[in-house]
Amino acid sequence: MKDINWDALSLDELKDIQKKATKAIESFEARKRKEALAAVEAKAAEMGFSLSELTGGTKTKSTKSAPKYCHPENPAKTWTGKGRQPNWVKEALANGKTLEDLLIVK
């Protein structure tokens, strides 16, 4: 970097340099942050994980839904009716049962 005679610069020139320097610093930090994140994600993937698995991700607290269906022979196996159907539900439906047959009676 060339030597600058700071005393010879006007206030506007100094403020312009300050503004450009601040922008350059922020850009540098953003690049370094991206590089660090990419390196950490690559290392986690190399070890068979995603970064969110290791850091807890951005999970939000959710309330558990009450089970709505249960396995006809094993009441410990339940399903809320949300998300993918468990294999036991798929099997029961394939064997002619309906979801109403699997409802938990209260």
What residue numbers bound the domain in which 19 lies? 8-55
Asked if pLDDT for residue 28 goes beyond 70, the answer is: yes
Whether residue 44 sits in one domain with residue 16 = yes
Q: For residue 60, is it within any domain?
A: no
Whether residue 46 sits in one domain with residue 73 = no
Q: Kindly report the pTM of this predicted structure.
A: 0.45
Whether residue 51 sits in one domain with residue 89 = no
Pairwise CA distance, residues 35 & 83, whole Å:
36
Q: For residue 84, is it within any domain?
A: yes
**Considering only 7-11, 15-19, 102-106, which range has the smallest mean pLDDT?**
102-106
Whether residue 50 sits in one domain with residue 16 = yes
Which pLDDT belongs to residue 58? Answer: 62
Asked if pLDDT for residue 106 goes beyond 90, the answer is: no
Q: What is the mean pLDDT of the chain?
A: 89
The model's pLDDT over 46-95, given as tens digits with 9 standing for 90+, comes to 999 888 888 876 656 677 888 999 998 888 999 999 999 999 999 999 99
Whether residue 46 sits in one domain with residue 16 = yes
The number of folded domains in the chain is 2
Closest CA to 80 of 90, 92, 65, 98: 65
Q: For residue 40, is it within any domain?
A: yes
For residue 104 the two structure tokens come to 């938990």
